[in-house]
Structure 1
Amino acid sequence: MNAAPEPATGTGRLECLGGETIGVVGAGMMGAALAYTCARAGADVVLVGRTVDGARRGVAYASHREARARTTDSAVSRALLDRITPTDRLADLEPASLVVEAVPENVVVKQQVMRSVEAVTHEGTVLASTTSTLPITTLSSALTRAEALVGMHFFSPVDRMPLVEVIAGARTSEAVFTTALDYARMLGKTPIVVRDSRGFFTSRVMERYLDEALTAVGEGVDPDVVERAATAAGYPVPPLRLLDEISLTLNRAVQRENRTAVEAVGGTWQGTSADRVRDRLIDDHDRGGRSVGRGFYDYDVDGSRIGLWPGLHEVFGTRRTIQLDDMRDRLMFVQAVEALRCLDEGVVGSDDDADTGSVLGIGFPARTGGVVSFVRSYPGGADRFAARARELADRYGVRFLPPHR
């Protein structure tokens, strides 16, 4: 899943991929922004859409992003955009040294696309998935060249977000993994290495932030308090607004993929109050997020945010009073505890990568230094952090208890 924290913009063009051809499959917002990023770095890009018109719309999106970059030299901009070739023919990917799929977050869909890409590219082509949650080992199981597939989880908008999670599947070759790290750097990104597991690092930690906000709303906490607490903590985008930007429907689709995976191995899916809040908004009130003009917030005809939907009070009530400090700490601690679990499980290899991923990828308050630094530097030290976590657990649930370390 992709976040939308306050992005960090770069300056100038990298032009370090001159002569390279990169393929992007999927011409939606993610694919189009990725194509633009690759062209900005000097690569020739083959952008494959379901239709030629769809691919051309992807180029139009790239053109819009370039116009917003306020480039003064129109010839440079034109040359950049001319490096993107829109097509609906997968066969046009043949010269690519790297092909990145940017299609919906669904195992079957991604496997079908990657099998088709594998069939038209040469043996040395690196195949990459932008998945934010699906294990690379699972995706690669459908391929003949499983060793060629690597995870490159970019963040949206790709041209402005600096982070890439790079993930090796069980059969990913060391050469392919190293090449993926090189490509990330050549595109001007900061890569972090995470272990192949469902949700990886950033999506797992961000999901706790979003779910905590949903849980609070379901408890009857005033949605405005939830948003103000996040802003007070230093999050660049408060959680209910972020859910609208991501879309509640996409957020639910990711949860359903998680449920499918759990049940496929004989597990029992444990639904949560966060799931129920999301379902009520989508199913009972047709509020799927900003893309449909209504979610936690109302939007005008131009798509501009008006304010929180007043109906939230009627649907969920405001029966629980909570101090702003408690709501702030709920959002921060639930992420910190999940990050500690990820470290213990080896999902992320170092405190530094965890901090980098949390700040650059999912908008954890930058003033803390990152999600692990927040724990390490908590006023009063580790004992006080643990004590505060127990206070939150006593009031709001055991999810705030940190792992025994």
Structure 2
Amino acid sequence: MTTESVFSFELNDERVGIVTIDVSGEKMNTLRASFAEQLQDIVRTANENNVKGLVFTSAKPDNFIAGADINMLDNAHSREEALALSTMCQEAFFELEKLPYPTVAAIHGAALGGGLEFALACDYRVCSDSDITKMGLPEVQLGLLPGGGGTQRLPKLVGLQKALEWMLTGKQVRAKQAKKAGLVNDSVPHSVLLEVACKYALKGKARATKPPLDKVSALLESNPFGRNLIFKKAAENVAKKTGGHYPAPNNIIKAVRASVELDTLKAYKTEADGFADLVMSDVSKSLRGIFFATTEMKKEWRADDAPSTDKVAVLGGGLMGAGITHVSAIKAGVPVRVKDVAHKGISGAMNYSYKLLEKKRKRRIISKAQLQEQMSRITGTTDYSGFAHVDMVIEAVFEDLKLKQSMVADIESHAQAHTIFASNTSSLPIAQIAEQAQRPENVIGLHYFSPVEKMPLVEIIPHAGTSEQTIARTVSFARKQGKTPIVVKDKAGFFVNRILAPYVNEAANLLLAGEPIEKIDKALVEFGFPVGPLALLDEVGIDIGSKIAPILEKELGERFKAPDAFSRLIDNKRLGRKSGRGFYDYSKKDKKPDESVYELLGVTPAPKLNKEQIAERCVMQMLNEAARCLDEGIVASARDGDIGAIFGIGFPPFHGGPFSYMDKLGLSNVCSTLSSYAQQNEVFSPAPALVAMAEKGQRFYDQDAAPQETVEQDTAEQGTDDPSTQPS
């Protein structure tokens, strides 16, 4: 069967060949396995037409080439096959680079991963100055390195330091920054992009130029001693950030180093070898699994035929309300009406967004005019004026059932019949909030995590009477806010707080048993969490956590009983960072464990366990509860649970989430470990569903399952490893 070519050729009056890239039937252009052969064919056509130059452009309205088709990686069943993929790309781009006439990439929209590597192999790169144009090599986010020559060509254009920074973080740059750094030769309005690109195609082959560096950077990069310092510093930063859990950054450094220390063939082989090793690594497989999962989830709960959410109101101008206002007005781009009983609350919510936008303005990400335009979307009121026109009301007031019920009644009397009432409760049952509603089908839970603008997850909680349309509309709006939503069952703790509570409780129990504060937290950070459980409690607020605990204990039983440590700290006015002290002392710039906590708790620090044992005890509690949640239908699938834990708690992505991690350990091994701990404390007793699965030799995921649809490179920026983020 012949594969339809993604390339089409046209010759203009000046004998410039214009090659249009268009992957048929897809929104995104991606590099498929057949692209190298098709590129050879189109070059042959160009040669036959005696072109003076060749311009590559895209038929897509918002992307040049968004990356490689990731399915190719999962179809590589051996290191040799993965190596062949990299070598194929390298050779195809070598051929492009060696053409006797000029080649130009005319970039509008996303040029990411393999798409940017394609452009790097051209003599010239011209991009549109549109806001949607962005370029980068984000492979590190999938546990990979650029395998098509990106580690070799990018440093020659922008310098070692910028190339390392961009590749090690997966950073995506816009037109202005790309031009300044030397990545593109020109940035022009989209309307003249092709015209300008064709002029570049008549300029003759590009000559090698030095990156536009400042004097200090140029001096550092021009001698072996300076370069050694650059690579050493990069390796130190990687070790500090990743804790040694992610091999891709070190492979990137090695490949970039090869670009300046080895001959061309050996340097490219270093890149290809590093790429092949990473493709076959468990870490990359886990990260690709997360990518596929989030991509699949975007196709679910579509609200195509439902009323759109064009205007929103937020009840409460506190910390959560301010964050929700920000992502609604700035990220989703809709007008937001903030209601608070006091003008101070309204101004606080507005100031919250202003400060975040002002930071972006100072970094020249947005202009002053853009800041003002975005702030104009937020208005405030102390009554319900303006609520007659909103499509969704998001409630972020105190955790008081009667207060929330009264708000439902108020909204039903002031808003439209289709207006959704979404509660940001973290503990109250949605069914009870909707109990007295006239339109219970419009009531739903929408649980954000703090800080709202940073945490990627939201839990969407329908009660038994919530309509399918309300669920779909809420999911759709959450995505518009830049969130990854999971739909969970209306039961105490929902999913994230429910699996978090036993984990945190076990950390407190270990503290009461004499394990030092810092040792407990360090053990879990070394396991892969962004922060330890006790530091996490300090960030959330020990008082906040203590309010959820009794609800969980009442609904779910004795295993959720909170240790006495929490109440003693609260009685001592130790609420965490917000009060200046909790498990840690925040009176100075760097937090330190507060030694007086031990006396307060009647504990003498006496370490008995190693870090691996501490981490295992805490994590096993989380895994066990996750299995119970799946069995009870709190989450619809292991996939949803893994995404919820990674994006809501910071469960180590390289482990793939709690369910993927249990599959790796083996369910029988998980049950055995839990049972051994249960001999000292019955809260460790393995969940019956977990035992049943282990006895049948089952897994949470089908080992042979593979993605069935083509998945394009995700161009969204996602952060899951920011230690400043925490659930609430």
- TM-score exceeds 0.5: yes
Aligned residue in 1 for 2:573 = 286
Q: How many percent identity over aligned positions?
A: 32
352, 358, 362: which one aligns with 2:645: 358
> 2: distance between equivalents of 1:204 and 1:19?
30
Task: Give the 3-state SS of the residue equivalent to 1:195 in structure 2.
Answer: coil
Whether 1:24 and 2:314 are equivalent positions in the alignment is yes
Describe the superposition over 1:218-255 as per-residue Cα deviations: whole angstroms up to 9, x where unpaired. Answer: 22221121111111111101111111111111111222
SS at match of 2:458: strand
Paired residues for 1:67-86 under 5 Å: 67-69=358-360, 70=363, 71-86=365-380
Does the alignment pair 1:298 with 2:589?
Answer: no
Q: Cα 1:169–1:72, aligned 2, differ >3 Å: closer, same or farther?
A: same
Report what 1:126 is aligned to.
420
* 2:389 counterpart SS class: coil
- Cα shift at 1:74: 1.7
* Deviation readout 1:324-358 (Å, 9 max, x if unpaired): 11100011111010000001111111010000000
Rounded to whole Å, the distance in 1 between the matches of 2:308 and 2:411 is 23
Q: Tell me by how many angstroms 1:11 deviates.
A: 9.5
Please tell me whether residue 66 in structure 1 is matched to residue 357 in structure 2.
Answer: yes
Tell me how far apart the structure 2 counterparts of residues 160 and 385 of structure 1 sit (CA, whole Å): 33
Matches within 5 A, 1:328-339: 328-339=615-626
Q: Secondary structure at the match of 1:24?
A: strand
Task: Indicate the residue corresponding to 2:669 in structure 1.
Answer: 384
Structure 2 residue identity aligned to 1:36: H
Match of 1:5 in 2: none
Amino acid at match of 1:344: D
Is 1:394 aligned with 2:683?
no
Instruction: Give the SS at the match of 1:152.
Output: strand
Per the normalisation by structure 1, the TM-score is 0.88
Superposed counterparts of 1:1-400, under 5 Å = 20-40=310-330, 41-69=332-360, 70=363, 71-258=365-552, 262=555, 270=558, 274-283=562-571, 285-300=572-587, 304-315=589-600, 316-319=603-606, 321-378=608-665, 381-400=666-685
1:10–1:160: 8 Å Cα contact kept in structure 2? no
Partners of 1:256 and 1:277 in 2: CA distance: 14
Amino acid at match of 1:339: A
Q: Distance in 1 between matches of 2:173 and 2:628?
A: 36
- CA distance in 1: counterparts of 2:433 and 2:501, whole angstroms: 22
Give the number of equivalent residue pairs: 383
Shift of the 396–323 alpha-carbon distance from structure 1 to 2, 3 Å rule, reads farther
Distance 1:253 1:181, change over 3 A: same
Contact 1:9 1:160 in 2 (8 A): no
Report the Cα distance in structure 2 between the residues aligned to 1:182 and 1:388, rounded to whole angstroms. Answer: 41
Secondary structure in 2 matching 1:67:
helix
Q: Deviations over 1:103-123 (max 9, x none)?
A: 122322322222222221111
Q: Residue 567 of structure 2 aligns to a residue in which SS?
A: helix
Which residue matches 1:4?
A: none
Deviation of 1:393 after TM superposition, in Å, equals 2.5
Note if contact 1:297-1:305 (Cα within 8 Å) is conserved in structure 2. no
SS in structure 2 of the partner of residue 274 of structure 1: coil
Retained in 2: the 8 A contact 1:9–1:161?
no
For 1:66-105, what per-residue CA distance to the aligned partner results, in whole angstroms no more than 9, with x for missing partners?
2334433121111111110022112332211010001122
Which deviates further from its counterpart, 193-202 or 354-363?
A: 193-202
Deviation at 1:216, TM superposition (A): 1.4
After superposition, the C-alpha distances for 1:108-144 in whole angstroms (9 at most, x for unaligned) are: 2322222222221111101101112222111100222
2:565 maps to a residue whose letter is V
User: Once the 2 structures are TM-superposed, how far is the Cα of residue 314 of structure 1 from its aligned partner?
Assistant: 2.0
Aligned with 2:591: secondary structure?
A: strand
Q: Which amino acid aligns with 1:401?
A: P
Equivalent residues of 1:22, 1:38 under 8 A apart: yes
Greater mean deviation of Cα atoms: 121-130 or 151-160: 151-160
1:370 is displaced (CA, Å) by 0.3
AA aligned to 1:282 is I
C-alpha change, 1:67 and 1:330, in structure 2 (3 Å) is farther
CA distance in 2, matches of 1:54, 1:234: 37
SS in 2 for 1:38: helix
Query: How far did 1:45 drift?
Result: 0.3
CA change 1:18–1:115 in 2 (3 A) is closer
**SS of residue matched to 1:377:** helix
Contact map agreement 1:281 1:287 (CA 8 A) in 2: yes
Cα shift at 1:320: 5.2
CA drift of 1:306 comes to 2.3
> Taking CA–CA contacts closer than 8 Å with sequence separation of 6 or more, which of the two structures ends up with the larger relative contact order?
1
The 3 A distance-change label for structure 1 pair 339 and 257 is closer
Structure 1 counterpart SS, 2:454: coil
- Contact 2:459/2:485, CA 8 A, preserved across alignment: yes
Taking structure 1 as reference, are residues 181 and 107 closer, same or farther at Cα in structure 2, changes over 3 Å only? same
Give the aligned CA root-mean-square deviation in angstroms: 2.4
Structure 1 distance, partners of 2:683, 2:457, is 31
Offset, 1:53? 2.0
1:163 deviates by 1.2
* The structure with more radius of gyration: 2
Looking at structure 1, the residues matched to 593 and 621 of structure 2 have their Cα atoms a distance apart, in angstroms, of: 24
Distance in 1 of aligned mates of 2:597 and 2:436: 44
**Partner letter of residue 626 of structure 2?**
A
- Determine if contact 2:549/2:561 at 8 Å carries over to the other structure: no
Is 242-251 or 155-164 further displaced after alignment? 155-164
- Corresponding residue of 1:3: none
